[in-house]
Structure formats: structure tokens, C-alpha cells
């Protein structure tokens, strides 16, 4: 039962990265792929039907952690308080920018909110990537089940730890580039003419840095946590997920080169899913690793709620998950085809 809830939480988090990831990437790039007001409204029209629904997956993942692993959620939120605080503000500003920019036709007003939207879209991937880096590197979790770290110290991935160091920043930058590439492929799929072509070129320019950062982060993770790669070699699911990630990267490349934008976007989604599943499968059962003493780590075994709570939650989870998938499928069906900038005064 504990392993099942660990898997369910991982599925929801991976779903959030893939789904909200494409509108993070589109937002981070929209100043570069859309030059005129009409083109920027075209970008907003492409992600507009999805962005707020995509954030539900983050709430759902938080709900699963609250139900199944409350100690993990409590320790993570308190120990990473500042990054979580910045993340919430970025999500708030991003939503405000989307909703406010078209309330006035003034160029300065819209330019201001475009910059806010771009910044608020680029910051969350860095923060979420850095948070993942902290969980992989380990944190000074003590016997009370909590930890506290400054935002940064000397940027070395060693004692004294900071939330930001060379390793976690590397993972954060990898997350930003991976989601920017993901968002560019989404825009190439959903838009036309100039925005489509600029998005396709942006994805091409990001592809080599993405591979370089992925390899660098993989090497750095091996240097810090060789045990993860020992686990990966002995777990078929982790191996399959890693192969899926590589195949997805190849699919993204071929889809872009052959002018098949949907294939490219699906390939990028497979890449993100593969590397995330390989990571969590290699980490299981550890959820928050203690650098003070491995015995103090919070795991899916020692940090779970009671068996009765897990069984009761399992009765309701399928209905909520089916509802979320059904809503996503409905949106994809209703908004199939290319997105177009609405007329002035209508929507985004």
C-alpha cells in the first residue's frame, strides 16, 4: 500500500511537470517567439485553455502527500520555505499577468505584464528543479523530522548546505531549459506562421544545451549519489523509464526535423516522464534523504499515514484522477487545431 501511494504521488507530480511545464516554457519564451501584440495574444490563446487546469495537478499531488505522507509534506514545506514562498508568488503573478494584460490597449501596460508573465513563467522551473536537487542531494533532516537551511551558503554541495548550491542550481537550470524546449514544441504544434517558425527554431537552439545539461546533471548526480545508479541498474522499471526518456528525446528531435510538431511534443513529454520516473524509481523508498544519518530519512515506509487512511483514500482517488483526465481530454478535444489570436476585446 505504501509503495502504491508513493507511485500515485509520483504520477501526479510527473503529470504536473509535463502539463504545466509546457505553459511555463511557452511563457518563458513568449517574448522571443512573439514580437507583436497579436502574436503574444496568439501565444496566450494557445495556453489559455490549459494553464489554470494544469495547476490542479500540483494541488492534487499536494493532497496526496497530505493524505499519504504528511510528515514528508510538513518537512518539505518548512525546510524549503523560501523557495515555496517564491514559487507561490510566481504562480500568482503569472495568473495575474495573463488575466490583466488585455484589460487595457496601452502598449506600456501590456509590455509590463508581458515581462512579468515571462519572469513568472521562468522562475518556477528553476525553483522546482532546485527543490528536486535538494531531495536528491539530501538535507540536514534531524531526529525531529524537520530541517532548516539558508537560501545559500558557499554554493558547494557539502556541509553547510544551502537550498541553492552548484548542484541544485544545475538541476534548476536543466529544468528551465527542458521546459523551455517543451514549451517551444507545444507552441510549434499549436500555432501558425511566424510564431510557429520562431518556436520551432527556439526548440532547435535549445536541444543541444538540453542534452549537455542533462549529461552534466547526470554526472553530478552520480558523483554525489552513486547509490542511485546502483538502484537503477537493479530495477527494471527504472531502466525502462530511462530508455523511455532517451527514446522521447530522439522522438522530439525527429518530429521537429520532419515537421511533425505533435510527434515532437509527445517525444518531449516522454523524455520528461522517463527521467522523472527513473529518478523516483531509483530513489524509492526514500522521499527526503537525511545527510546527518540515513536512518533519519523520511521514506514511504516510515512516513506514511495509517493503513486504514491509505485504504480509505484509495477508494476516492480513482474518481478524482478520472475526473482530471476527463477534463484534460475534453479541453484537448474542444481546442483541437491551431490557436489564433482573438479579436481585440475578446479573451486574451
Q: Is the pLDDT assigned to residue 63 strictly greater than 80?
A: yes
What burial class does residue 208 get, using C-beta atoms within 10 Å of its C-beta: 0-12 exposed, 13-18 middle, 19+ buried? exposed
- pLDDT for 76 equals 93
With H, G, I as helix, E, B as strand and everything else as coil, classify residue 152. Answer: strand
Q: Is the pLDDT assigned to residue 141 strictly greater than 80?
A: yes
Q: Mean pLDDT of all residues in the chain?
A: 93
- pLDDT for 345 equals 59
Kindly report, residue by residue over 104-125, the tens digit of the pLDDT. 888 899 999 999 999 999 999 9
- Domains along the sequence of the chain with CATH: 2-334 (1.20.1630.10)
With H, G, I as helix, E, B as strand and everything else as coil, classify residue 133. Answer: helix
Kindly report, residue by residue over 226-276, the tens digit of the pLDDT. 999 999 999 999 999 999 999 999 999 999 999 999 999 999 999 999 999
What is the rounded CA–CA span in Å between residue 19 and residue 203? 17
CA angle 153, 83, 285 (to 5 degrees): 90
What is the rounded CA–CA span in Å between residue 199 and residue 40? 12
- Alpha-helical (H) ranges within 140-260 are 166-190, 193-224, 226-233, 236-257
Look at strands 286-288 and 298-299 and give their pairing.
Answer: antiparallel
Look at the alpha carbons of 129, 130, 133, 135 in this order and tell me if their dihedral is positive or negative. Answer: negative
Kindly report, residue by residue over 161-183, the tens digit of the pLDDT. 888 999 999 999 999 999 999 99
Confidence class for position 342, pLDDT limits 50, 70, 90: confident
Q: Is the pLDDT assigned to residue 346 strictly greater than 70?
A: no
The residue behind cell 509546457 is: 22
Q: Is the pLDDT assigned to residue 341 strictly greater than 80?
A: no
Amino acid at each position: 500500500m505504501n509503495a502504491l501511494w508513493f507511485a500515485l504521488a509520483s504520477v501526479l507530480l510527473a503529470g504536473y511537470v509535463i502539463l504545466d511545464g509546457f505553459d511555463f516554457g511557452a511563457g518563458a519564451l513568449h517574448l522571443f517567439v512573439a514580437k507583436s501584440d497579436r502574436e503574444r495574444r496568439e501565444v496566450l490563446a494557445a495556453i489559455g485553455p490549459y494553464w489554470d487546469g494544469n495547476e490542479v495537478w500540483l494541488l492534487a499531488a499536494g493532497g496526496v502527500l497530505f493524505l499519504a505522507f504528511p510528515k514528508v509534506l510538513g518537512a518539505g514545506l518548512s525546510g524549503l520555505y523560501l523557495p515555496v514562498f517564491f514559487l507561490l508568488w510566481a504562480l500568482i503573478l503569472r495568473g495575474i499577468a495573463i488575466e490583466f494584460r488585455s484589460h487595457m490597449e496601452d502598449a506600456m501596460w501590456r509590455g509590463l505584464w508581458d515581462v512579468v508573465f515571462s519572469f513568472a513563467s521562468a522562475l518556477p522551473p528553476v525553483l522546482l528543479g532546485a527543490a528536486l536537487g535538494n531531495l536528491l542531494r539530501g538535507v540536514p533532516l534531524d531526529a525531529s523530522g524537520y530541517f532548516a537551511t539558508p537560501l545559500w551558503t558557499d554554493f558547494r554541495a557539502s556541509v553547510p548546505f544551502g537550498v541553492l548550491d552548484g548542484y541544485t542550481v544545475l538541476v534548476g537550470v536543466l529544468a528551465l531549459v527542458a521546459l523551455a524546449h517543451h514549451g517551444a514544441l507545444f507552441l510549434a504544434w499549436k500555432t501558425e506562421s511566424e510564431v510557429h517558425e520562431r518556436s520551432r527554431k527556439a526548440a532547435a537552439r535549445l536541444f543541444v544545451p538540453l542534452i549537455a545539461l542533462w549529461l552534466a546533471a547526470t554526472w553530478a548526480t552520480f558523483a554525489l549519489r552513486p547509490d542511485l545508479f546502483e538502484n537503477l541498474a537493479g530495477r527494471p522499471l527504472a531502466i525502462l523509464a530511462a530508455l523511455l526518456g532517451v527514446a522521447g528525446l530522439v522522438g522530439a528531435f525527429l518530429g521537429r526535423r520532419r515537421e511533425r510538431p505533435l510527434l515532437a511534443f509527445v517525444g518531449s513529454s516522454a523524455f520528461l516522464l522517463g527521467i522523472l520516473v527513473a529518478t523516483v524509481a531509483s530513489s524509492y523508498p526514500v522521499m527526503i534523504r537525511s545527510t546527518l544519518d540515513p536512518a533519519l530519512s523520511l521514506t514511504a515506509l516510515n512516513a506514511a499515514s495509517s493503513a486504514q487512511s491509505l485504504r480509505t483514500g484509495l477508494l476516492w482517488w480513482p474518481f478524482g484522477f478520472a475526473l482530471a483526465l476527463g477534463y484534460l481530454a475534453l479541453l484537448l478535444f474542444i481546442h483541437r487545431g491551431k490557436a489564433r489570436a482573438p479579436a481585440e476585446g475578446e479573451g486574451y
